[in-house]
Structure 1
């Protein structure tokens, strides 16, 4: 177990070093539209209550219309929500990432063993009143490990977990392929799902579109895609982190201006918001809000379609990375709250080492690589998610590519729409999007397997997994996973990250901070995350 692994840097922002940049920039970038989150009738619960019974209103800067299937989703909104609705055998603290018993009654005593036995919490029930049983655990892990299902969670388990067996109605055994202590922290990623609900025909499609039935402290009470999702405290929950709010209303507001407006001023309609724009930090602090930033793995990345020429040529992919003026992007779009990527991992990760290939700003080198590849007159349609800080970064990419003779068209669009196109294998050239594998955990093995690995969703998007370079990389990754010596494993991981950097198929441009704001006159116990979303399982009303 990685007891010694530090949590991501989390600190109270003084912002003094940036005060010059922020002092006159209280307004959100004018290029962002100020559309509302959705119909007002669905933005409020209609029963705000009084005192401790009032509804917590939160603003999430990401869409709620992507998959809600806890074994499939990478959506910031639904992942954050699912941590309140579902439980794993073990869950992890959102900041320290230390595991604690959730549906299970304890953590295995010997994490170096190849069999872990878990007993389920007595009296644990699903939100529909049915008891949680070992069959539910076996059903869930059956999906995780089924190669025909290809869940996202499979990337985090299949290499080390062989099978899950029912011992009796209230206990199960996990059979490991080899000792893997780090796996204990990954159990939170296999949120246990009720077999009697989700084994029915079509039920998993419903999970994708928003249906959520868990055993956690909150139950989903209503779901309005593109608008809001509401939750109620689950009265029969008997686990370790009970609901502290009677009701919650989570609004999805992707555009920055209305998101900031919702939490600002005397008529603010929300008590907490994630994804605060850097330009609005000073404004919100002056308004009495607590504002905290977390530096971690959050990044803007480029994804190339390697089945489409000339992006099958590594020199072209490298050229487009070398061409980007990252320092300008950090100054203009991120207001100083970022660092140029010098590895796939952020500098605070314990496995970090500067990569063998670092894409410093070098337009001359970019031009030379394109010439060497025999590419001239290149035009690029850059598809991108419409997450507000990504939208702010896009003009720098366009200006950088235009400057080396690559005519660039920007195509920002809703995240769900963009990834639907990728899932449907629609043609594309390059995608710019936001990612933060810290949503899943901190260890480098997990982080790298999120984007890279045979059968991986991202590899299918990139059309790269059948290349000789990819197959060599996957062998290196598998060897590092199986290496029992921690220092050797670290060195092996660092070496294969050099391969990832050189090939630049899916690779970060900048790592940046994420900012959360809340009203300390209303809430206590809030802890800002260095990854998208919020976790209020330990927060409460003042």
Structure 2
């Protein structure tokens, strides 16, 4: 992940395999420690993944997550859907954000800064806040986390969200800290939720961050992790010492990881349903689940199927070829058939609901004649393309439309869906490829367009490393324009600057969305109240409760 100054080297393979999840990828890991170093959750094999007993309000809530729980749990590294969702229940930032509105609220800090345009933000920590081992949260813990994020020698995913605008975090006294900014950056207030405060006395120990990657989680949030079994389930219980704004409503929670669609749906449906809530619901199952009494709701946002081209593999170095393959895709059919109407063809890199959205100057409406003309202009004929794709169920549903569309313009297309980890291991090892089709949703980090675009574009970030495009003259100009937009103090001018460079991103189509789609969540309304479907992977139960 890149920071907005574009000066940090790309992470090496070991770092990537630990922190991926940006597209759902996760490294295979061994047995992991849970809340304390003495708890070895996997030493005797997984406990039951069923409801762990109890009755009434004391029974465990069971959730089904359609993503793996074996990605990195280190809050400074992870982009794993399961782990990020769980960390939002286990950890706190100085500020956190509402999962739907994304409005910031005071979490470990006592209040939101009154002047978002100031270059100095003062925070007082909540009196009596403690970590799950009972030790108090102090300013030293805050400084410890931000020092790790800002350390130029430590490559973390979180660095890209902070290093461009945050100069320093310093201790004032035991309960007070100051954040010193490089320039006014009001968007940073919402980003503070991405800096989860971790106990220095735990994670400053040798090897502790490796333990965090593998599943160790010790925070100050309303739930503490009690056991963690990679590829099976993770359990939590209410932390009695929590005194913050969003207290635990469930005494215990059991989160199952079920990536395959059929068993995930089976676990939430029918008379013998073993869970109260599940995310990543396939579109084809919505009607049946609703007829069975479940609430099924969607969240439309940045979730997308994108194509990524290897610009060092000819002819994909030619923008006309990339454009042709986008114009050739029958996106309306893809939305109708594969997404069952729960999506829209992309008309910008951003989804239409994003506050920074503007229809791009280049929009890839279905135009096979134009696609053929562009290929002819580029001198390309008899093209054969192998699409390396992740095997997420909804992506796999979309692939036949791409193949049929490309075959129809004379591009012989082969589909190669694989496990997500396998796809991104190949990319990280710099293996050759032509085109990748995968899913992404930067909304799990936030809504501001500056964050989203820097997450995907920058001369040394992961994605531009995969595309081999950073040395291109157009790319170099783009990265300069992006940096200038970050530093622009006038919000309206900044918005226009971002929209202008998104037009360049759209025209170049190096890494670009084909469709934006809804993510569906199902829950039992006779059991749960206060539940809301979010437009990015995972669930948030901090305002849910038993009926």
Q: TM (normalized to structure 2)?
A: 0.89
Find the residue that maps to 1:181 and give its secondary structure. Answer: coil
2:505 maps to which of 480, 500, 508: 500
Aligned pair in 2 of structure 1 residues 417, 453: CA closer, same or farther (>3 Å)? Answer: same
Look up the match of 1:51.
Answer: 56
Return the offset for 1:482. Answer: 1.5
Look up the match of 2:250.
Answer: 245
Q: Deviations over 1:404-460 (max 9, x none)?
A: 222222222222332233333333222211111111111111111111123322222
2:267 maps to which of 255, 259, 262: 262
Look up the match of 2:132.
Answer: 127
Q: Deviations over 1:150-175 (max 9, x none)?
A: 32222221221111111122221111
Look up the match of 1:368.
Answer: 373
Contact 1:65 1:416 in 2 (8 A): no
Q: Deviations over 1:378-419 (max 9, x none)?
A: 322222222211111111112212222222222222223322
Distance 1:197 1:446 in 2: 30
Return the offset for 1:41. Answer: 5.6
Look up the match of 2:467.
Answer: 462
Question: 4+ residue runs of structure 1 moved beyond 4 angstroms?
Answer: 39-43
Contact 1:67 1:73 in 2 (8 A): yes
Distance 2:417 2:95 in 1: 38
Contact 1:230 1:248 in 2 (8 A): yes
Aligned pair in 2 of structure 1 residues 511, 368: CA closer, same or farther (>3 Å)? Answer: same
Return the offset for 1:333. Answer: 0.4
Distance 1:280 1:45 in 2: 23
Return the offset for 1:40. Answer: 11
Contact 2:46 2:229 in 1 (8 A): no
2:101 maps to which of 83, 96, 101: 96
Written as runs of structure 1 = structure 2, the 5 A alignment for 1:72-91 is 72-91=77-96
Out of 47-56 and 422-431, give the one that drifted further: 422-431
Distance 1:45 1:219 in 2: 19
Written as runs of structure 1 = structure 2, the 5 A alignment for 1:509-520 is 509-520=514-525
- 1:442 correspondence with 2:447: yes
Distance 1:539 1:95 in 2: 13
- 1:147 correspondence with 2:152: yes
Structure 2 unpaired stretches of 5+: 1-43
Structure 1 unpaired stretches of 5+: 1-38
Distance 2:543 2:355 in 1: 27
Q: Deviations over 1:93-139 (max 9, x none)?
A: 11111111111111112221100111112222222233222222112
Distance 1:96 1:114 in 2: 25
Look up the match of 2:192.
Answer: 187
Distance 1:193 1:421 in 2: 32
Q: TM (normalized to structure 1)?
A: 0.89
Contact 1:66 1:209 in 2 (8 A): yes
Look up the match of 2:170.
Answer: 165
Find the residue that maps to 1:470 and give its secondary structure. Answer: helix
Distance 1:461 1:208 in 2: 23
Return the offset for 1:143. Answer: 2.1
Return the offset for 1:339. Answer: 0.7
**Matched residues, number:** 504
Find the residue that maps to 1:408 and give its secondary structure. Answer: strand
Distance 1:382 1:211 in 2: 36
Return the offset for 1:68. Answer: 1.7
2:489 maps to which of 479, 484, 491: 484
Look up the match of 2:66.
Answer: 61
Q: CA RMSD in A?
A: 1.8
Look up the match of 2:333.
Answer: 328
